[in-house]
Amino acid sequence: SFQHLLQVILSLPAMIHVFNGCKEVCALPGKACAACSECDLCEPCKSCCQELGEQFTDFFNRPLGLYVAGAVLMSIAELSYILAALVQDSFKDCVLPEGMAQQVGMGHWLKVQMGCAWLNLIFAPYIQYQLMQKLQEH
């Protein structure tokens, strides 16, 4: 059953290390910026690198930080591909199979996908914000 599968997954102690490893890899740009702030740079560049490094590291240390970053990047990529497809006239030449696919059409399908991408782009940061608010209340 689903409950049993969930219990098995949650009981695996190694899973947390996999996600911590991913989090550490994603935090590398922030650590690089923090290290750049230690170099002999002009004072504005130094403070900018230090602040950027702190913000980047702080973002990935928040709950769902990796999820939000992944969702935002995927949504932006999806939106860019959809917009690229919509501006091409050749997508109208696509022949879809008989039935529901042909009734919906490629243009409408791309617009639905665009709506889903926008929803995902908004939902991920929103759910993180709500989680952070609840955690700060307690």
Measured between alpha carbons, how far is 105 from 83 in angstroms, rounded to an integer? 16
Calculate the CA dihedral of residues 74, 76, 78, 80 and round it to 10 degrees. -150
19-78, pLDDT tens digit by residue? Answer: 666 666 666 776 776 676 666 666 777 777 777 777 777 777 788 888 888 899 999 999
Measured between alpha carbons, how far is 34 from 132 in angstroms, rounded to an integer? 25
Contact status, residue 91 vs residue 107, Cβ threshold 8 Å? yes
The answer to whether the predicted template modeling score (pTM) of the entire model surpasses 0.75 is no
Query: How far is Cα of residue 110 from the mean position of the Cα atoms in its chain?
Result: 21
Angle at 71 between CA 65 and CA 74, to 5 degrees: 140
